[in-house]
Structure 1
Amino acid sequence: MSILALREDRPTPKSVYNWRIYACAIVVSWASCMIGYDSAFIGTTIALPSFIKEFQLDSYSASKRALISANIVSVYQAGAFFGSLSAYGSSYFIGRRKSLWLFAVLFIAGAGAMLAANAERGLNVIVGSRFLAGFGIGGASNMVPIYISELSPPAIRGRLVGMYELGWQIGGLVGFWINYGLSEHYPSNNTQWLIPFAVQLIPAGLLLIGSIWVPESPRWLFSKGRREEAMKVLCWLRQLPADDTYMLQEVAYIDEDLTRFRDEVGAGFWKPFRALKESRVLWRFFLGGMLFLWQNATGINAINYYSPTVFKTLGITGTNTGFLTTGIFGVVKTALTVVWLLYLIDRLGRRNLLLFGSLAGSICMWIIGALVKDVIPKVDPNAGMSSGGIAAIFFFYLWTAVYTPSWNGTPWVINSEMFDQNTRSLGQASAAANNWFWNFLISRFTPQMFLKMGYGVYFFFASLMLCSFVFVFYLVPETKAIPLEQMDRLFATKPIRKAHAQVMEELHRINEVQQQETDEKPAATAEEYA
């Protein structure tokens, strides 16, 4: 089998890969459009001359302006940190679907309140409202990957969870370009900077409406003992009758997983916390959190939130020129996310992409740092872009091309699939909280880092990317095509680099034995599983 071919854990009817699971993934991924839009629009919005004039930011020193910008940006991540943790409770008590509805409402309340900001009321209105909107975003960032992974057939789980990342990039693309268009074609007044804040309400409204249509996660329904409802949803998603062999096998996997963890850990709101005493469970929590540490250690969120500052260090001057360059950055990310989603994540796999991204991305960062240090400062700023500046931009876009199909969305995919049913909500809450915690640190201190370290910022991130290569090589197994209920088997297999091949071989042998037994005796009825 080619490395680029889809691998199935067992023979899968073609009807399983139907429009309904894609539609559900697309609908809930409006949440990631909200996240991506904010990560892109806020840095360029607070750099608009109209925003600077409205709040008289030119009257402050460079260090004070850097602090104000950091507070506006980072309070969003702080809210998201607490929101992602709270989602564990909401998902346990009211489910995945209703949690998405709840967090969409909270985001809309926060985003709407931002529109009340002006010079008279001050920046505190924006700061407080961004915390509330961030809280909603944090909860949604927890729920969406879990929801999609629990709906997905194993062979295309990476592709479907990748819809979440695609939504992130589409939102980012709009966010990167909207301020360029406004600065070019709209008068420089307070409406100019209010429009980008108002656009946040569009994807949030679509998520709110969509969360009413999508079904509840069948695995969550099984975990709550609502078997009849769970079977109905699962049959609708798979477009198969309840007594189909594939359905019987999937339900058997779910039942086996639920029974084992109820015996070992126990069902209940607090029981998954007790599971953290087990080293095998705690280890996966550690891996999930560290993946987001290394994702932020690439420097991506420093670039996302402060792209005008970053491009200025590369020799680009002028507000509109900086916005245009930032917009192209968004185009590159979105285009390569589509390639990652449709072709790479479920074929090359998660582990290979992360290893490639760490090594190649580090090389690009070292080169960018060297150019910023030795070439760009020696160029006359009035002479236009120099050859050194052009080279730096080239390697920056090359770094983007390396990062996007590797570290951009892959940590979300791995975290959505590597936890068992009893700890999946808590594990995803931990992973999302880690993402927002490291995101907060980067967004809070990046302006000061550029002021104090200059070109050293690029060397700093280059070094961290080398560390991430070592981490993934020795500690992270490949998870593509492994059923959610077989992740324990995968993480228990050593050595890590060979675990995926061994588990897939075992699953195929088990399937062959089960198929022989099925051929030799009448198949079990759906009622036995209902």
Structure 2
Amino acid sequence: MGILTLREDRPTPKAVYNWRVYGCSMVASFAACMIGYDSAFIGTTLALPSFVSEFRIDTMTPDQKAAMSSTVVSVYQAGAIVGSLSAYTSTYFIGRKKSLLLYSLIFMLGAGMMLGANGQRGLGLIIGGRVLAGIAVGACSMVVPIYISELSPPAIRGRLVGIYELGWQMGGLVGFWINYGVNTTMAPSHAQWLIPFAVQLIPGGLLLLGCLFIKESPRWLFSKNKREQAMKNLCWIRNLEPSDLYIVEEVAAIEEELETYRREVGAGFFKPFTALKQPQVRWRFFLGSMLFLWQNGSGINAINYYSPTVFRSLGITGVNTGFLTTGIFGVIKTVLTFVWLLWLVDHLGRRKLLMIGAIGGSICMWYLGAYIAIAQPQNNTSGNLSGAGISAIVIFYIWTAFYSPSWNGTPWVLNSEMFDANTRSLGQASAAASNWLYNLAISLATPYMFLRMQYGVYFFFASLMILSVVFVFYLVPETKTVPLEAMDRLFAIRPIRNANKIVMDELRERDQEFRANADGAGLTNIKEKTDHVESA
């Protein structure tokens, strides 16, 4: 077994792992580039001397600065909460593809509004544009993971949903570095701070164009009884004929699950809400929300949105030095995200990644808090880092190395795959809204936390990371390689730590029985459902 060898739930034709499924995932992930860039660039843009001068931020008191920063950042999260929840409606009625098209247009409108801001007009257009951009990225954070998950063969589902996270990190990387670039190559001016805002239009435009070429989710089409188009899309994505046994099995599993929920719960816009009466459904909604609580509890979004503040607390002084340090943080995150999606998420698995990342990250946070408490770098006026200060920066990057291939993207993967067909859209909407709600809380609180708590901020995040290890060990099953249609069974098994192995063994036994009956009437009866598509 090589490090890139795939563990499959059943024999899978090589044709399934083709450029089409990767291409659709990459196009949809331009939405993640929007999200990553918007999350990363705003903190350093607010610190640009030209922005500070034009909007007279240097005349504000510390409390006024904290209020301004938290407002500009937090309206984005507030919009994202609304967008996450509204996307359930759009994905139900118009599908995954058209929803991405709709929200890319809203994002472009919001990004365009921000370009009209200046010192005379004030921050109003930026705040309004951030609300619209937030609505769009919140909706996309709900739509893209389930779209990719529904396209994906089980063995590479983590990798493909990981492309979404990679897009997030690549957008963030540009966002972290762009202000360093404009600050070192341009004189302070209106154009200097406007360029970072204008760059938002690039990933938004690429998503808008890309949506014209990708295919609608076959699983969504099946759920809407658009069977012929669903079969065409599925066969195109899998690069197989309708009569291929792999397609026959997949369609049978999809239709069996849909029929079960139509019979037991019923189809309709409000039916997933009624499904919340079931304890097992509510439990998965709770798990999905809590995963993002722990993700935000790691401190990552405090760093993303307020990176200059974070590095100042460690003793980094000077605008360019702060931007450079932040940029290196973005590089480490992006490089390790490549490692995560190519190997770790589908081989080491979701549970182990989360626990290892939290333990290592917590140790680093305890160190950073202790350094600030003892060395008090905020009192250093020389601008030179001591040996202890350099070690703190190194430990911060080690924290990044623990966090990036674990909590950075894995909660998105888990939420994209753990809900059943009936509640998948609503579940992902709930999880995405939870993520942005916790983002909002962090963005509102962070300036004041650093102002009041100082080193206690790091101890706070370190404690939450330790608690997340206990949560994952006892409550979160391993979902890697498990087909979407088998998630109900996975979450029903106790103890949690053995669930994945039990389900995979059951799936292999069922596949052997299915293939044993494939000759003769068994396969003939199933293939009758697809014959009309072959002739179309």
Give TM-score, length-normalised by structure 2.
0.97
Q: 1:155 to 1:456 in 2, by over 3 A?
A: same
Deviation at 1:306, TM superposition (A): 0.3
Aligned equivalent of 1:526: 527
- Conserved? CA contact 2:317–2:383, under 8 Å: no
- Conserved? CA contact 1:376–1:388, under 8 Å: no
- Conserved? CA contact 2:314–2:377, under 8 Å: no
Secondary structure, aligned partner of 1:345: helix
Structure 2 letter corresponding to 1:64: Q
Aligned equivalent of 1:382: 382
1:280-295 equivalences in 2 (<5 Å): 280-295=280-295
1:58-457 equivalences in 2 (<5 Å): 58-377=58-377, 380-382=380-382, 384-457=384-457
Structure 2 letter corresponding to 1:366: W
Deviation at 1:4, TM superposition (A): 6.9
Deviation at 1:377, TM superposition (A): 3.3
- Conserved? CA contact 2:313–2:378, under 8 Å: no
Deviation at 1:63, TM superposition (A): 1.0
Deviation at 1:435, TM superposition (A): 0.4
- Conserved? CA contact 2:313–2:377, under 8 Å: no
- Conserved? CA contact 1:88–1:429, under 8 Å: yes
- Conserved? CA contact 2:76–2:131, under 8 Å: yes
- Identity among equivalent positions (%) equals 65
Q: 1:373 to 1:122 in 2, by over 3 A?
A: same
What is the alpha-carbon distance in structure 2 between the residues aligned to residue 140 and residue 528 of structure 1?
34
Deviation at 1:209, TM superposition (A): 0.5
- Conserved? CA contact 2:85–2:429, under 8 Å: yes
- Conserved? CA contact 1:376–1:386, under 8 Å: no
Deviation at 1:6, TM superposition (A): 2.1
- Conserved? CA contact 1:416–1:428, under 8 Å: yes
Structure 2 letter corresponding to 1:8: E
- Conserved? CA contact 1:30–1:207, under 8 Å: yes
Secondary structure, aligned partner of 2:347: coil
Please, what is the CA RMSD of the aligned residues?
1.3
Structure 1 letter corresponding to 2:91: S
What is the alpha-carbon distance in structure 2 between the residues aligned to residue 380 and residue 83 of structure 1?
43
- Conserved? CA contact 1:90–1:99, under 8 Å: yes
- Conserved? CA contact 2:314–2:378, under 8 Å: no
Structure 2 letter corresponding to 1:123: L
What is the alpha-carbon distance in structure 1 between the residues aligned to residue 2 and residue 378 of structure 2?
50
- Conserved? CA contact 1:4–1:348, under 8 Å: no
Structure 2 letter corresponding to 1:504: M
Task: Structure 1: give runs of 5+ residues left out of the alignment.
Answer: none
* Equivalenced residues, count: 530
What is the alpha-carbon distance in structure 1 between the residues aligned to residue 383 and residue 98 of structure 2?
57
Structure 2 letter corresponding to 1:227: R
Report Cα offsets for 1:80-107 as digits up to 9, x if no partner: 0000100000000000000000000001
Structure 1 letter corresponding to 2:69: S
Q: 1:435 to 1:514 in 2, by over 3 A?
A: same
Deviation at 1:157, TM superposition (A): 0.2
Aligned equivalent of 1:25: 25
What is the alpha-carbon distance in structure 2 between the residues aligned to residue 259 and residue 190 of structure 1?
59
Structure 2 letter corresponding to 1:331: V
What is the alpha-carbon distance in structure 2 between the residues aligned to residue 424 and residue 226 of structure 1?
18
What is the alpha-carbon distance in structure 1 between the residues aligned to residue 253 and residue 373 of structure 2?
56
Q: 1:510 to 1:195 in 2, by over 3 A?
A: same
- Conserved? CA contact 1:376–1:389, under 8 Å: no
Deviation at 1:381, TM superposition (A): 3.0
Deviation at 1:358, TM superposition (A): 1.0
Structure 1 letter corresponding to 2:528: E
Secondary structure, aligned partner of 2:517: helix
Structure 2 letter corresponding to 1:419: F
- Conserved? CA contact 1:379–1:386, under 8 Å: no
Q: 1:370 to 1:4 in 2, by over 3 A?
A: farther
Report Cα offsets for 1:17-49 as digits up to 9, x if no partner: 000000000001000000000111000000000
- Conserved? CA contact 1:80–1:433, under 8 Å: yes
Report Cα offsets for 1:310-352 as digits up to 9, x if no partner: 0001110000000000000000000000000111110011111
Task: Structure 2: give runs of 5+ residues left out of the alignment.
Answer: none
Report Cα offsets for 1:44-67 as digits up to 9, x if no partner: 000000000000011110111011
What is the alpha-carbon distance in structure 2 between the residues aligned to residue 51 and residue 61 of structure 1?
16
What is the alpha-carbon distance in structure 1 between the residues aligned to residue 378 and residue 487 of structure 2?
54
Q: 1:383 to 1:82 in 2, by over 3 A?
A: closer
What is the alpha-carbon distance in structure 1 between the residues aligned to residue 235 and residue 452 of structure 2?
58
Give TM-score, length-normalised by structure 1.
0.98
- Conserved? CA contact 1:314–1:393, under 8 Å: yes
Aligned equivalent of 2:13: 13
What is the alpha-carbon distance in structure 2 between the residues aligned to residue 21 and residue 373 of structure 1?
50
